[in-house]
Amino acid sequence: MADLLQPLADGVMLGATYSLLGLGFTLIFGVLRRLNLAFGPTVLVGIYAGSLWHWARPGSLWPVAALTVAGAVLAGLYVERCSFSALARQAPVVSMISSFAVSMQLQELVTLVAPSRTMPYPAPDWLPTIELGPILLRSDGLLMWGGATLLTVALFLLLYRTRFGVAIRALTDSREGAALMGVNVTAVGAAAFLIASAAGGAAGILIAASQQQVTPYFGLWATVKGLTAMLLGGAGSLMGAVVGGLILGVVETEALSHWGGQWRDLTAYALLFIVAAARARAAGGGARG
């Protein structure tokens, strides 16, 4: 029983950060009806910004965290300008290709400025490890779970309890309808994009801190996690993205603990492939995204 429950607990704790990545992905997709494949690399830029600070003057965590979010927002702004607002009149898939091209730039940028390929990232040392009967909740897992859950709740409060949140959700419902109701769709769309990037940056802090290091591969990795969480949750539903992230986290850690390391990635990609095929079928091939 314990060898089933332990990975389940680990998976939920890891999956909470996938949920946060999925939420960022869903926010952009919901508002713009476009896929931002540079989402992971935007977060990567933020993590490297924080990591560079930590490398130059190790010590306090807060400036590292603040720089991580700021870097992600800045990179998000660049992606939004290049791949989304400049291409607003073209088909949605054009933005998707453009965002991948821009993500190549971001990935090369971090390797150019970083003094080494693997960069250190600080973690808080005051977190406990909790034992619940046979299950061990490690401190890095608790950090991911606690931080991601807090941020998810904050994001939901923003989206469901503020006027701004109403405007964003109106936009995801119907762009035209929202515009007729007096919502400034371009401004709200851009703002939602930046909020999503900030949420991605926050997820990046948690993931990087739990691994205590980061490599340029993080960019595509985070994109794939967020995309899978979003598609698992129904491509557009905010709550769905949260659930999708948890499912992905649990499936990955169960595969890891029962079959070994390589199966973890294999299962994750197989899951993405299966949901993409299933979603395409559900949309009757009709969704042009």
The smaller minimum CB distance to other proteins, of residues 169 and 279, is found at 279
Residue 17 Cβ vs other proteins, minimum distance, rounded to whole Å: 20
Q: Is residue 267 classed exposed, middle or buried when 0-12, 13-18 and 19+ CB atoms within 10 A define those classes?
A: middle
User: Should residue 60 be labelled a site residue for other proteins when binding is judged by CB under 8 A?
Assistant: no
Residue 41 Cβ vs other proteins, minimum distance, rounded to whole Å: 10
User: Should residue 103 be labelled a site residue for other proteins when binding is judged by CB under 8 A?
Assistant: yes
Determine which residue in the list 70, 87, 136, 158 makes contact with other proteins, applying CB under 8 A. 87
Of 66, 75, 229, nearest to 152 by C-alpha is 229
Residue 59 Cβ vs other proteins, minimum distance, rounded to whole Å: 31
User: Where does this chain touch other proteins (CB under 8 A) — which range of 17-25, 95-103, 165-173, 236-244?
Assistant: 95-103
Which pair of structure tokens corresponds to residue 122?
Answer: 């600080």
Query: What is the 3 state secondary structure string of 224-274?
Result: HHHHHHHHHCCCCCHHHHHHHHHHHHHHHHHHHHHHCHHHHHHHHHHHHHH
Cα separation, 191 vs 196, whole angstroms? 9
Residues 6+ apart with CB under 8 A from 170: 177, 178, 181, 183
The smaller minimum CB distance to other proteins, of residues 90 and 162, is found at 90
The smaller minimum CB distance to other proteins, of residues 27 and 209, is found at 27
Cα separation, 72 vs 77, whole angstroms? 9
User: Should residue 276 be labelled a site residue for other proteins when binding is judged by CB under 8 A?
Assistant: yes
Which pair of structure tokens corresponds to residue 4?
Answer: 């089933």
User: Should residue 101 be labelled a site residue for other proteins when binding is judged by CB under 8 A?
Assistant: yes
Dihedral over Cα of 152, 237, 227, 162: its sign: negative
Q: Which residue has the tokens 């040392």?
A: 125
Determine which residue in the list 220, 245, 246, 251 makes contact with other proteins, applying CB under 8 A. 220
User: Should residue 107 be labelled a site residue for other proteins when binding is judged by CB under 8 A?
Assistant: yes
The smaller minimum CB distance to other proteins, of residues 160 and 269, is found at 269
User: Should residue 112 be labelled a site residue for other proteins when binding is judged by CB under 8 A?
Assistant: yes
SS3 117: coil
Which residues within the stretch 10-49 sit at the binding site for other proteins (CB under 8 A)?
A: 35
Helix spans in the chain (H)? 2-32, 39-56, 62-79, 92-113, 139-161, 163-173, 175-180, 185-211, 218-232, 238-259, 261-282
Cα separation, 200 vs 194, whole angstroms? 10
Residue 245 Cβ vs other proteins, minimum distance, rounded to whole Å: 16
Which residues within the stretch 229-248 sit at the binding site for other proteins (CB under 8 A)?
A: 231, 235
Q: Could you tell me how many residues of this chain bind other proteins (CB under 8 A)?
A: 46
Catalog residues that contact other proteins under the rule CB under 8 A: 35, 82-83, 86-87, 90, 92-94, 96-98, 100-105, 107-109, 112, 220, 224, 227, 231, 235, 262, 265-266, 269-270, 272-273, 276-277, 279-281, 283-289
